[in-house]
Structure 1
Amino acid sequence: MFNVDNIRKDFPILQREVNGRPLIYLDNAATSQTPQQVIDVIVDYYSNYNANIHRGVHSLSQEATDAYEQAREKIRAHFNAKKSHEIIFTSGTTDSINLVANGFSSILESEDEIIVSALEHHSNIVPWQMLCERTGARLKVLPMDENGELLIDELDNLLSNKTKLVFVNHISNALGTINPIKTIIDKAHKVGAAVLIDGAQSCPHIKPDVQDLDVDFYVCSAHKICGPTGVGMLYGKEEWLNKMEPYRGGGEMIDQVSFEKTTYAGLPHKFEAGTPNVCGGIAFGAAIDYMNSIGFDNIANYENELLHYATEQLLEIEGLKIYGPKELTHKTSVISFNVRNIHPYDIGTLLDKMGIAVRTGHHCAQPIMDFFKIPGTIRASFMFYNTKEEIDQFVASLKKSILMLS
């Protein structure tokens, strides 16, 4: 049974105070908190079998290698990838996207076109702009509407036999919009284009099935899914990963090295040069285990309750505007809003004084803010360990902040 009070006991940080007030953490879209079960795995690694992997014959190295590769298998099973070597460990979503962008540098030609959506995080815009500068390919944008939803019908006008890549986030980090990625993938594949889905915001709330989606690349970060920072995942179909050149050169990614010529290792090591974040990868697997022990259906149902509850309360505040889908079935547990002409930073600062952590600014999604002609928003984002009582305190503190700034 889902019991939020018991779940909260798993998270030591939720017991602390900020500015003399109990912490209310509503910045989960930036980084989720880490349960004791994952912290214990990190401590156990450094206490008992810290060693470099894949290269050592001694016991510690073999133990670390086994744990690291078991984590890869956990991630493969969670995302339902066909093969474990289709899972590449990276430093996070941004690194994963850059890996693919670099890999396509030798594939794209000057007449080719790539498409990104208007809802993207900077990490799913800038690498593709850099790729276009290197190759001469053209970047096109799938537009959005006033509800913060993509104009999917426009995709048919943008796609052509010149389209080689399409990029879109599964869920918008700035607005919480859930994008119809299955439709986008199917349309792109009809013209022979590959698709990369940024799953950074979806993976804490949804359990993606990459085979069912038939997606070519899917990326995410562990720190959004109750895991540590500095580690993430790239899923890529084997045939695409084999076509791409390595992102970095160094140890681990080689087969044979001489001063005349170097040959590369097979997947996944081809893309994992150097000593990896061994502990991070193992803890990533532990975080996946933890999330699955809670159950993604339970998580989705509970977070949906929080979203409805918070939305109803916030909309009662005069002058408050929520950006993003009006239909709550089209979004996840993110509320991005402003209050009249009060700057979001000022409200965020006052909320922090009351122990409440929210995110303010453009959320690394400046084109979205430019579309709405605003400098940024206040973003409250919920996870399954938040409570309705915390939302009550958040709303009360927000009203107090508004009075102070009016």
Structure 2
Amino acid sequence: MFNLDVNEIRKDFPILSLQVNGKRLVYLDNAATTHKPVAVIDAMKHYYENLNANPHRGAHYLSVAATEAYEGVREKVRKFINAASSKEIIFTRNTTESLNLLSYTYGMKYIEPGDEIVLSITNHHSNIVPWQQVAKAKGAVLKYIYVDSNGRITPEEIRNKITSKTKVVSIGHMSNVLGVIYPVKEIIEYAHSMGAIVIVDGAQSVPHIKVDVTDMDADFYAFSGHKMLGPMGIGVLYGKAELLEKMPPFLTGGDMIEYVYEQETTFAKFPFKFEAGTQNVEGAVGLGAAIDYICNIGLHNIHEHERRLTEYAIDKMKEIPYIHIYGPKSADEDKGGVISFSIDGVHPHDTASILDAYGIAIRAGHHCAQPLMRFLGAPATSRISFYLYNTTEEIDIFIDNIKNVRRWLGYGS
């Protein structure tokens, strides 16, 4: 059952009352980062006022309290994505760090010359560049899964690209450009049958749809706090215990050791093996509050709300002949709340700058997906993206002012 009161939700986000250039803020850049509800801001403030200390390292009250808060969020994340154990949850700075951790530990240790690493052409740069470095260092082969004219991956493409030589498949769950939600469970099943492990970039999916890493049988799954109402500087890497056990550490130093001698060191067990140095405890606390907020609203309600907004926006945009949409032209179940588009005769950067004059925040550029941009034949696009606090009224404001973009540049309409 769909039940989401957007007007009440908006009251929880102080920044949405901001005036930009004398206009009410219309924020449509949620695929880049989301705003924070009061509950998240208050949780972090409470931590600093009442719990601030280094976790794991002290016997005094504050250190114990900080440890309990930090480890409590680890368990909360486990439940949120249905991992088997909280030990399989590693805190990082963001999805990018999580993917680099995997490429420079698992990749550098287990990839051999001639092995194949399979990526999707829709991947974010953070899920391409690290694997390029591994392939160059290890003499491996990079292969890409391409998408059809609607931005979707066909079963034939999966079977053609993933072979018995494939050792790693690393793919985004949802495209930050096309908004397509990819069939990762089916991809994982086929990759496993070929003997490969699968890494999923969930930065764009976890905030919007229910993710069950156990059901999909993902080997690794990564996401960021700031795209799901949480603070910047906190991310999550989930990994299967048997894989984490055999991986070397990524960073070394304090809190990830067991014993240090003059000439050698033994390392702590995971997840601590991968969490060197003083951690972002306040970020974890904020992430925990964000998870609580999302669960209280309901991921089903969030996804359905975004689907309706996307359908409404696409229908409005298709009525304007000089707008061209990339990817699916309808809000199907495998389409998230992201729409990339171009306007005839207008550079995307000009579109974003002119809309900003009206208080409308959108994204323009290559969206850290240059291989996909080249595949689409578009050096850059404009992008709008929705979250639980957006409204159809905001879409109407966006549509009305798209026409102003053309007028600013001398077009009649």
TM-score by length of structure 1 reads: 0.98
1:64-111 residue CA offsets vs partner (Å, 9 max, x unmatched):
110000000000000000000000000000000000001121111112
Asked if 2 retains the 8 angstrom alpha-carbon contact of 1:91 and 1:231, the reply is yes
Partner of 2:346: 342
Partner of 2:29: 27
Q: Output aligned runs, 1:87-236, within 5 Å.
A: 87-104=89-106, 105-236=108-239
Q: C-alpha distance in 1, partners of 2:92/2:320?
A: 43
Q: C-alpha distance in 2, partners of 1:302/1:154?
A: 32
Asked if 1 retains the 8 angstrom alpha-carbon contact of 2:89 and 2:236, the reply is yes
Q: C-alpha distance in 1, partners of 2:380/2:190?
A: 32
Partner of 1:58: 60
Q: 1:275 aligns with which of 278, 300, 303?
A: 278
Identity %: 51
Partner of 2:15: 13
Cα displacement (A) at 1:327: 4.0
Letter of the aligned partner of 2:222 in structure 1?
V
Cα displacement (A) at 1:166: 0.2
Q: 2:262 aligns with which of 256, 259, 264?
A: 259
Between 1:132-141 and 1:380-389, the stretch displaced more is: 132-141
Letter of the aligned partner of 2:391 in structure 1?
T
Partner of 1:285: 288
Q: C-alpha distance in 2, partners of 1:282/1:134?
A: 38
1:37-82 residue CA offsets vs partner (Å, 9 max, x unmatched):
0000111111122111100111011111100000000000000000
Partner of 1:363: 367
Asked if 2 retains the 8 angstrom alpha-carbon contact of 1:161 and 1:191, the reply is yes
Asked if 1 retains the 8 angstrom alpha-carbon contact of 2:314 and 2:329, the reply is no
Q: C-alpha distance in 1, partners of 2:202/2:254?
A: 29
Secondary structure in 2 matching 1:76: helix
Asked if 1 retains the 8 angstrom alpha-carbon contact of 2:311 and 2:330, the reply is no
Asked if 1 retains the 8 angstrom alpha-carbon contact of 2:308 and 2:331, the reply is no
Letter of the aligned partner of 1:51 in structure 2?
A
Q: C-alpha distance in 2, partners of 1:236/1:341?
A: 46
Structure 1 portions without partners, runs of 5+: none
Secondary structure in 2 matching 1:10: coil
Q: C-alpha distance in 2, partners of 1:118/1:341?
A: 27
Cα displacement (A) at 1:150: 2.1
Paired residues, number = 406
1:348-397 residue CA offsets vs partner (Å, 9 max, x unmatched):
10000100000000100011111122221110001110011111111101
Secondary structure in 1 matching 2:143: strand
Asked if 2 retains the 8 angstrom alpha-carbon contact of 1:168 and 1:197, the reply is yes
Partner of 1:374: 378
Q: C-alpha distance in 1, partners of 2:157/2:205?
A: 24
Structure 2 portions without partners, runs of 5+: none
Q: 2:395 aligns with which of 381, 391, 394?
A: 391
Between 1:255-264 and 1:320-329, the stretch displaced more is: 320-329
Cα displacement (A) at 1:155: 2.0
Q: Output aligned runs, 1:291-330, within 5 Å.
A: 291-329=294-332, 330=334
Cα displacement (A) at 1:192: 1.0
Partner of 1:86: 88
Cα displacement (A) at 1:234: 0.2
Cα displacement (A) at 1:151: 3.5
Q: C-alpha distance in 2, partners of 1:346/1:326?
A: 24
Asked if 2 retains the 8 angstrom alpha-carbon contact of 1:114 and 1:139, the reply is yes
Q: C-alpha distance in 2, partners of 1:176/1:159?
A: 23
Q: C-alpha distance in 2, partners of 1:372/1:190?
A: 31
Secondary structure in 2 matching 1:132: helix
Cα displacement (A) at 1:333: 0.7
Between 1:396-405 and 1:39-48, the stretch displaced more is: 396-405
Q: C-alpha distance in 1, partners of 2:54/2:266?
A: 22
Cα displacement (A) at 1:261: 1.3
Q: C-alpha distance in 1, partners of 2:6/2:89?
A: 32
Partner of 1:354: 358
1:6-54 residue CA offsets vs partner (Å, 9 max, x unmatched):
0000000001111111100000000011000000011111112211110
Asked if 1 retains the 8 angstrom alpha-carbon contact of 2:210 and 2:300, the reply is no
Asked if 2 retains the 8 angstrom alpha-carbon contact of 1:118 and 1:150, the reply is no
Between 1:151-160 and 1:26-35, the stretch displaced more is: 151-160
Cα displacement (A) at 1:244: 0.9
Letter of the aligned partner of 1:185 in structure 2?
I
Letter of the aligned partner of 1:78 in structure 2?
F
TM-score by length of structure 2 reads: 0.97
Letter of the aligned partner of 1:400 in structure 2?
N
Partner of 2:38: 36
1:121-156 residue CA offsets vs partner (Å, 9 max, x unmatched):
100000000111121111111112222222331221
Change (3 A) 1:64 1:275: same
